[in-house]
């Protein structure tokens, strides 16, 4: 039988989500069968899966010792410092300048090297996270960034901060995220791109389609390099490959984009600059009026400098 007092780190979440993390190796069918059989109690009272946990409550789950041993297996992490630039850190959040080529999230079995796992190692190294003590919550990224896009990624160290950041990124009313992209062509003036996007699940490619989900992107010129433009991009919806597809549709493909870009230009950059990646970087995050636990972030701006390789390319183009 599982008996546990809910800690401050584990509170403020649905009890079924807590159990999905605590019994991480259990099938979902097993988790929800516990609720149907009324085998999950808080302070001695049966609760439904939607119940929100509070600090100090006593959780009881009627499982056998064998099931508990089988399904409760904390992930293996090591005490390792973080090798990537930390843009900002406090007791609630961690902002990292992610290099291109690194996954933010892992696969189902968490076998690959990911930024999320490296952050867990780092926080374990600092003594701020222990997988054996806090199995109902683990620090996590509040948003996604493509493997081959570099730049800012925000992590939350506690559940309240994670929920608030996720809401901010979802609503996009009180947070602005700006990207830098080097594109083919000369963008003369700012433009808004309002075009729905549809993803082909088989190929993984995205295209503009009336059948797709709404997508809105703002682009403005920043610097010019002959027939290339360095542009600032702001997205108001978070669709897959949104920036790359929208820019390409307007005749301004991102340099190095292997799916939607100009392949001749990509080859030129590979031959001349040894650059074989999309030139897209999550450059800046600005918090507007923020309430709650993260209210101290109001009017704060965080910037991640371009990677060294991209800076070198721009320097050479400028000459």
pLDDT digits (tens, 9 = 90+) for 189-219: 999 999 999 999 889 899 999 999 999 999 9
Q: Which residues fall within 8 angstroms of residue 127, CB to CB, at 6 or more apart?
A: none
pLDDT digits (tens, 9 = 90+) for 126-174: 989 887 777 778 899 999 898 999 999 999 999 999 999 999 998 888 9
Parallel, antiparallel, or unpaired: how do β-strands 150-156 and 280-287 relate? parallel
Parallel, antiparallel, or unpaired: how do β-strands 206-208 and 197-199 relate? antiparallel
Residue of 93, 106, 98 whose CA lies nearest to 82: 98
Segment (H or E) for 179? strand 175-184
pLDDT at 137: 83
Burial class (CB in 10 A: 0-12, 13-18, 19+), 53: buried
Mind telling me the catalytic residues?
A: 146
Q: Report the sign of the C-alpha dihedral through residues 113, 117, 123, 124, in that order.
A: negative
Predicted structure pTM score: 0.83
CATH 3.30.2350.10 fits 172-287+302-318, yes or no: yes
Parts of the chain belonging to CATH 3.30.2350.10? 86-168, 172-287+302-318
The pair of three-digit structure tokens given for residue 152, joined into one six-digit string = 């800012």
| pLDDT for 109 beyond 80 | no
Residue 300's alpha-carbon distances to 13, 146, 153, 164, in angstroms, are 28, 24, 16, 16
CATH 3.30.420.10 fits 2-71, yes or no: no
| pLDDT for 69 beyond 90 | no
Segment (H or E) for 35? helix 28-36
Distance CA 28, CA 46 (A): 19
Parts of the chain belonging to CATH 3.10.290.10? 2-71
Segment (H or E) for 66? helix 65-71
Residue 88's alpha-carbon distances to 23, 96, 228, 264, in angstroms, are 33, 7, 32, 39
Mean pLDDT of the chain: 91
**End-to-end alpha carbon distance in the chain:** 70
| pLDDT for 111 beyond 80 | no
In words, the CATH class of domain 86-168 is alpha beta
| pLDDT for 106 beyond 80 | no
């Amino acid at each position: 039988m599982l008996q546990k007092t809910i800690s401050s780190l584990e509170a403020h979440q649905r009890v079924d989500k807590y159990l999905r993390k605590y019994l991480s190796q259990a099938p979902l069918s097993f988790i929800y069968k516990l609720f149907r059989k009324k085998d999950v109690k808080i302070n001695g009272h049966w609760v439904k899966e939607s119940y929100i946990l509070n600090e100090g409550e006593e959780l009881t789950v009627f499982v056998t010792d064998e099931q508990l041993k089988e399904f409760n297996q904390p992930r293996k992490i090591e005490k390792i410092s973080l090798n990537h630039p930390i843009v900002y850190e406090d007791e609630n959040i961690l902002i990292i300048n992610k290099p291109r080529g690194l996954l933010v999230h892992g696969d189902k079995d968490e076998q690959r090297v990911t930024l999320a796992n490296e952050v867990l190692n780092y926080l374990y190294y600092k003594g701020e996270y222990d997988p054996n003590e806090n199995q109902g919550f683990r620090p996590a990224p509040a948003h996604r960034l493509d493997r081959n896009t570099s730049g800012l990624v925000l992590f939350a160290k506690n559940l309240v901060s994670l929920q608030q950041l996720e809401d901010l990124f979802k609503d996009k009313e009180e947070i602005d995220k700006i990207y830098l992209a080097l594109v083919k062509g000369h963008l003369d003036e700012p433009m808004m791109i309002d075009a729905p996007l549809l993803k082909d699940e088989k190929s993984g490619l995205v295209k503009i389609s009336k059948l797709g989900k709404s997508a809105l992107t703002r682009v403005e010129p920043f610097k010019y390099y002959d027939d290339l433009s360095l542009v600032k991009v702001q997205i108001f919806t978070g669709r897959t490959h949104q920036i790359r597809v929208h820019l390409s549709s307007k005749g301004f493909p991102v340099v190095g984009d292997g799916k939607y870009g100009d392949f001749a230009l990509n080859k030129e950059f590979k031959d001349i600059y040894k650059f074989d990646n999309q030139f897209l970087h999550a450059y800046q995050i600005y918090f507007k009026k923020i309430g709650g636990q993260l209210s101290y972030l109001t009017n704060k701006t965080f910037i991640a400098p371009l990677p060294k390789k991209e800076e070198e390319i721009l320097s050479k183009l400028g000459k």
